[in-house]
């Protein structure tokens, strides 16, 4: 099962995202559930780091099927913080809806 952990914060809505495990929907390499979640993680990281130049800490371990993302509350630019918040909340909403569609393969925890 793919496990998604979202940790709430007051600046961005969610300041920490951890995604781990294989969904078990299909064999590794042909699992469309894992592919969807992985590409969503890559997209949010690309938007935050490459497009918004956000100060983001990442921890990626393909062997353990783990992606970790921490967004420190260091952004003084209010407009930039709002854009980051919208992106992170959008990712969270997307993962929540996806976990409702495939509850036997994806779980989500919000702390």
Q: What is the pLDDT of residues 58-96, one digit of tens each?
A: 999 988 889 999 998 776 667 888 899 999 999 999 999
Alpha-carbon span 60 to 69, nearest angstrom: 9
Tokens of 80: 């930039």
The per-residue pLDDT for 72 is 85
The per-residue pLDDT for 21 is 94
Fold for domain 2-110? Alpha-Beta Plaits (3.30.70)
Q: Where are the domains of the chain?
A: 2-110
- Do the beta carbons of residue 72 and residue 55 sit within 8 Å? yes
> What is the mean predicted confidence (pLDDT) over 8-33?
91
Beta pairing class for 2-9 and 106-110: parallel
User: What global pTM score does this model have?
Assistant: 0.90
């Amino acid at each position: 099962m793919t496990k998604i952990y979202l940790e709430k914060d007051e600046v961005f809505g969610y300041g920490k995202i951890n995604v781990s495990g294989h969904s078990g929907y299909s064999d590794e390499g042909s699992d469309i559930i894992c592919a969807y979640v992985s590409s969503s993680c890559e997209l949010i990281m690309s938007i935050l780091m490459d497009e918004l130049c956000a100060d983001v800490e990442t921890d990626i371990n393909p062997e353990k099927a783990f992606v970790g993302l921490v967004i420190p509350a260091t952004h003084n630019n209010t407009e930039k913080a709002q854009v980051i918040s919208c992106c992170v909340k959008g990712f969270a909403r997307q993962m929540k809806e996806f976990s409702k569609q495939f509850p036997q393969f994806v779980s989500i925890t919000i702390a």
